[in-house]
């Protein structure tokens, strides 16, 4: 089975363009087979974007895929954007999409935080559910080490994918945990350092 976090260039057979209008801004995203949510912008990501608090400073889009979260937030709030993904093909698309949407970006090819040394005011993540709980929890734990003193990690997660256990994990590692949105089994969480 192919997963979006595994590079497989043989899947790149159908590049297409997706559009998203949010915050009165029109965005365009190039995508291709083998990338997460390649046929339409993921609804959970849109929910995260609509329920995140206003941001300032620096932003890391961890597991950025083709770049939806980071590009939208950087454009809306004028953030200094870094995008990271384990899948180099996804990262290439994220870089193209940043340029397409006139957003400056620092791309980093990284498995979680392996190649990331910076400190960020904000980190956003639509967790890679299919990579497993151990991988997701490692990303949460390592996020704390890469947040500024008042920085926050924002995630979106479904109840059926472990939202309640994720809240408990957040409470173990963050000084403050807020549920910013909870409806129809979808949660947007903020973990503040």
The structural domains of the chain, ordered by start, are 14-192 (3.40.50.150)
- Confidence tier at 1 by pLDDT (50, 70, 90): very low
The answer to which of 56-60, 157-161, 166-170 has the lowest mean pLDDT is: 157-161
pLDDT mean over 106-126: 95
Q: How far apart are CA 121 and CA 127, in angstroms?
A: 19
As a whole number, the mean pLDDT across the chain is 91
What's the whole-model pTM score? 0.91
Q: How far apart are CA 192 and CA 118, in angstroms?
A: 17
Q: Which residues of 53-80 are buried (b: 16+ CB within 10 A; e: fewer)?
A: eebeebbbbbbbbbbbbbbbbbbbbebb
Contact 69, 49 (CB under 8 A): yes
pLDDT in tens, 51-91: 998 999 999 999 999 999 999 999 999 999 999 999 999 99
Of residues 98 and 10, more confidently modeled: 98
- Confidence tier at 3 by pLDDT (50, 70, 90): very low
pLDDT mean over 7-18: 70
């Amino acid at each position: 089975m192919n997963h979006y976090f595994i590079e497989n260039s043989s899947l790149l057979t159908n590049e297409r363009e997706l559009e998203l209008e949010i915050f009165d801004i029109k965005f365009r995203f190039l995508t291709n087979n083998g990338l997460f949510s390649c046929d339409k912008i993921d609804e959970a990501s849109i929910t995260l974007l609509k329920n995140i608090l206003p941001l300032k400073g620096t932003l890391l889009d961890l597991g950025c895929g083709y770049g939806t979260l980071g590009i939208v937030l950087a454009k809306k709030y004028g953030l200094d954007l870094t995008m990271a993904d384990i899948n180099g093909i996804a990262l290439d698309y994220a870089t193209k999409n940043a340029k397409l949407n006139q957003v400056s970006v620092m791309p980093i090819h990284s498995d979680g935080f392996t190649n990331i040394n910076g400190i960020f005011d904000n980190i956003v993540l639509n967790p890679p559910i299919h990579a497993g709980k151990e991988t997701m929890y490692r990303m949460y734990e390592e996020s704390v080490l890469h947040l500024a003193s008042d920085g926050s990690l924002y995630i979106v997660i479904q109840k059926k994918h472990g939202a309640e256990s994720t809240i408990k994990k957040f409470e173990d590692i963050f000084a403050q945990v807020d549920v910013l949105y909870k409806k129809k089994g979808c949660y947007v969480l903020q973990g503040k350092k």
